[in-house]
Amino acid sequence: MLLKREKYTEYHPNGEKWITGEIGLVAELWKHLYNYRTNFEGYEGKPICRIGLWHKYYDNGQLAWTIEYDEHGYPKSTEYPSFRMDGTPINY
């Protein structure tokens, strides 16, 4: 069970967005059901899972990739859009 949901943002040293998404604080009793992490700033040692849409950006503001996570922190798809620093798509 998620105890708390909130928006999450990290920034590059130059002030541009680096990563954006939503995190959920997972109850200790239920953490075995989630794909959780314990290294989010401000939540060190607590189980946190990524939920919803996550975007990563290059330091010039260009979108690098997008991944969508389900309510338990697992990616919804194995395919997601990725881009080079100049904005051209990366096709696998």
31-70: b (≥16 Cβ within 10 Å) or e: beebebeeebeebeebbbbbbbebbbbbeeeeebeebebe
CA atoms within 13 A on the CB side of 38: 6
* Rounded distance between C-alpha atoms, residue 4 and residue 21, angstroms: 14
Predicted local distance difference test score (pLDDT) of residue 72: 94
CB under 8 Å to 41, separation ≥6 — which residues?
A: 10
Instruction: Name the token pair of 66.
Output: 């997008």
Q: Which residues of the chain have pLDDT under 50?
A: none
Predicted local distance difference test score (pLDDT) of residue 56: 96
Predicted local distance difference test score (pLDDT) of residue 71: 93
pLDDT single digits (tens) 49-74: 999 999 999 999 999 999 999 999 99
* pTM of the entire predicted model: 0.85
